[in-house]
Structures are given as structure tokens and as C-alpha cells.
Amino acid sequence: MDRPPVFHYDLGSPYAWLAAERVERVLPVRPVWRPILLGAVFQAVGRGSWGVTDRREAGMREVERRAAEYGLPPVRWPDPWPPNGLHAMRAATLAERIGCGRELALAAFRLAFTEGADLGDPEVIRLAAARASADDADAIVAGIAGQDVKDELRDNTAAAVELGVIGVPTLAVGERLFWGDDRLEEAAAACG
């Protein structure tokens, strides 16, 4: 394999959280963490979130079942969910650039899905940034308004759509895409 796998995620996705908690244990190599805007992906591919359909309750119970099966803490759903996570995704993009993207993503996922925090709240973003890198928390929060960060997140998302990503989590291993937290083992086998 010439390049590391790429883990595409959006912080508002509970399935991306499930994958984020396991991806580095399951894959034989550490992936690149790539924040993308799931709403923009949905818009580009003509899909929508199950979280705003009549499948919402069943989907939430499935996430809770999988979290328990994976040995994760009980899910505490944020209110509102799905959140307006645009600023959180910009923070993840900036954190990736400065070297703490994985840490910020895990902190934000855990705040959202194990503590029930709203990722649309700027103070929750600050807390995630502080948990990821106390030295850079203020710079991350201040930097999310930068046009370069907005452009980078937009470019990440466009590149993911061009690659064929239709949802998150998606792992790109070489030319192959593995969509869903339940496909990590299959992605790991493809890394070999």
C-alpha cells in the first residue's frame, strides 16, 4: 500500500463516532483523519440523514446497541441531534492542520455521544479543543472563521465526493471505499 488509509468523518455522525473509537485498533496502520461535511456530501449525492426521518428511533437504538457491543460508554444523545456542526467541523479541519486533528475529533465525538453535548455550542468546541491540545485551544477556536479553513473543509468534502464517498464513516484504502463502522475489519484486510 503506497499511502495510508483515509478515515472520512463528520463529528455529527454517531456511526463515525463508533468507527473513530475502533479504527486505530482494527487497522494495521494508522489512517489519516479527514473531516468532511456530511450535509454537503448528502446534497451532492442526493441523500439525507436518517436522523430526520421515521427511521430515527430505530437508528438511535442500533447505535446504542453497537456502542454496548463495542464496550463503549452508554450513548447520551445531544439535544439537538443532528446538530449544526459546521463550526465543529472547521475546528476539526484546523486541528488536523496543526497536528491534533485525531485528538480533537475523539474529544468532540465523546462530548457529543457520551456526554450529550451540543457541538453547535462554541463552548463545547472550545472544550473539545482544550481536551485535544490545551496549548492550541484558543487558536483553534479563533481560527475557525478563517477563509483558508473554510476552503480546506470545502475542498476535503469535494474531494471525498469525487472519490465516491456517499456517507460517513468511509475508509479509503487505496482505490477501495469501505462505508460504515461495520466495515472496519474488511478495510483492515484490504490494508494487508
Per-residue pLDDT in tens (0 to 9) along the chain, 192 residues = 578 999 999 999 999 999 999 999 999 999 999 999 999 999 999 998 888 889 999 999 999 999 999 999 999 999 888 988 999 999 999 999 999 999 999 999 999 999 999 999 999 999 999 999 768 788 899 999 999 999 999 999 999 999 999 999 999 999 999 999 999 999 999 997
Task: Name 146's Cβ contacts closer than 8 Å, sequence gap at least 6.
Answer: 94
- How far from 156 is each of 1, 4, 162, CA to CA, in Å? 22, 16, 10
Say how far apart CA 156 and CA 67 lie, in whole Å: 28
Given a contact cutoff of 8 angstroms between Cβ atoms, the answer to whether 74 and 60 are in contact is: no
Say how far apart CA 175 and CA 157 lie, in whole Å: 17
Instruction: Give helix 101-115 / helix 14-26 axis angle, nearest 10°.
Output: 130
